[in-house]
Amino acid sequence: MKKLILFLFIFGVNAIIAQNFQNICSPGTTLYKSVSSELKAFRLDSLYPIGNSDTMFISYRTIREDSSWTCLDTTNGSILGRKILKRQNGWFLFFNTDNDTISINTQAALNETWKFCNLPDNGYIQAKVSNVGNEIVLGLTDQVKTITFQAKNSGNVDIPHILNQRDIKLSQHYGLSRMLDVFWIPRDTLIYMLAGKTVPEIGLQDIAWKQIYDFNIGDEFHYSGGEYHPVNYPEMYVNYSFDIYHVLGKTPYGNDSVKYIMEYCHKDTTWSSGLVNKIHDAITVVYNFSQLTNSNSSWFTKLPEEFFNQNNVAFEYKRNFEFNDRQNKYFKTGAYMTTPFFPGCWLYNVQPDCFTIFLSENKYTDGLGCSHYQDDCFNSMTGTHIQSKWNNLVYFKKGSETWGNPVAPDCWVLTDVEDVKTKEKATNIHIVPNPVETTSRIWLDSDFPGEEMTFFLTDYLGKNIARFKTGSQPYFFNSEGIPEGLYILSVFDKNGLLRNRTKLIIL
Q: Are residues 152 and 213 in the same domain?
A: no
DSSP assignment string, 248-292: EEEEEETTTEEEEEEEEEEEEEETTT--EEEEEEEEEEEEEHHHH
Q: What is the mean pLDDT of residues 302-331?
A: 95
Q: How many domains does the chain have?
A: 3
Domain boundary pick from 338, 369, 404 = 404
Q: Are residues 465 and 317 in the same domain?
A: no
Position 409 in a domain: no
Q: What is the pLDDT of residue 231?
A: 55
Q: Are residues 365 and 267 in the same domain?
A: yes
Q: What is the pLDDT of residue 413?
A: 83
| Range in 38-52, 83-97, 267-281 with the lowest mean pLDDT | 267-281
* Closest-CA residue to 183 (of 96, 102, 250, 252): 96
36 pLDDT more than 80: yes
Q: What is the pLDDT of residue 82?
A: 96
190 pLDDT more than 90: yes
Q: What is the pLDDT of residue 405?
A: 95
Q: Are residues 315 and 458 in the same domain?
A: no
Q: Are residues 386 and 253 in the same domain?
A: yes
Q: What is the mean pLDDT of residues 50-74?
A: 90
Q: Which range of residues forms the domain containing residue 36?
A: 2-203
Q: What is the pLDDT of residue 424?
A: 46
Contact 363, 393 (CB under 8 A): no
Taking the C-alpha atoms of residue 226 and residue 241, their distance in angstroms, rounded to an integer, is 5
Q: Are residues 455 and 362 in the same domain?
A: no
Q: What is the pLDDT of residue 317?
A: 96
Q: Are residues 217 and 125 in the same domain?
A: no
Question: What phi and psi values does residue 490 have, to the nearest 5 degrees?
Answer: -110, 140
Residue 473 neighbours by CB distance under 10 Å: 16
Q: Are residues 38 and 113 in the same domain?
A: yes
Most confident of 19-33, 461-475, 493-507: 19-33
Q: Are residues 243 and 172 in the same domain?
A: no
* Closest-CA residue to 327 (of 374, 285, 371, 297): 371
Taking the C-alpha atoms of residue 302 and residue 318, their distance in angstroms, rounded to an integer, is 9
Question: What phi and psi values does residue 142 have, to the nearest 5 degrees?
Answer: -145, 155
Question: What phi and psi values does residue 8 have, to the nearest 5 degrees?
Answer: -65, -35
The strand pair at 220-228 and 238-253 is best described as antiparallel
Confidence band of 195 (pLDDT split at 50, 70, 90): very high
Q: What is the pLDDT of residue 294?
A: 95
495 pLDDT more than 90: no
Kindly report, residue by residue over 331-347, the tens digit of the pLDDT. 999 899 998 788 889 99
Confidence band of 271 (pLDDT split at 50, 70, 90): confident
Position 342 in a domain: yes
Q: What is the mean pLDDT of residues 31-38?
A: 95
Q: What Cα–Cα distance (Å) separates residue 389 from each residue in 185, 228, 241, 347, 376?
A: 39, 6, 11, 23, 7
What 3 state SS string does 242-256 have?
Answer: EEEEEEEEEEEECCC
Q: Are residues 304 and 268 in the same domain?
A: yes
Q: Which amino acid would we find at residue 200?
A: P
Domain boundary pick from 166, 184, 203 = 203
Q: Which CATH number is 453's domain given?
A: 2.60.40.10
460 pLDDT more than 80: no
10 pLDDT more than 50: no
Position 475 in a domain: yes
- In terms of pLDDT, which residue wins out, 161 or 377? 161
443 pLDDT more than 50: yes
446 pLDDT more than 80: no
374 pLDDT more than 90: yes
The average confidence (pLDDT) of the chain is 88
Kindly report, residue by residue over 99-145, the tens digit of the pLDDT. 999 999 999 999 999 999 999 999 999 999 999 999 999 999 999 99
Q: What Cα–Cα distance (Å) separates residue 281 from each residue in 6, 244, 503?
A: 81, 11, 10
| Range in 19-28, 67-76, 98-107, 130-139 with the lowest mean pLDDT | 67-76
- In terms of pLDDT, which residue wins out, 88 or 238? 88
Q: Is the pTM of this model over 0.85?
A: no
Position 117 in a domain: yes
Contact 380, 372 (CB under 8 A): no
Confidence band of 42 (pLDDT split at 50, 70, 90): very high
Position 73 in a domain: yes
Q: Are residues 196 and 106 in the same domain?
A: yes
- In terms of pLDDT, which residue wins out, 489 or 369? 369
425 pLDDT more than 80: no
CA–centroid distance for 21 within its chain: 32
Q: What is the pLDDT of residue 503?
A: 85
Q: Are residues 399 and 266 in the same domain?
A: yes
Q: What is the pLDDT of residue 371?
A: 98
Q: What is the mean pLDDT of residues 225-232?
A: 74
Domain boundary pick from 187, 203, 219 = 203
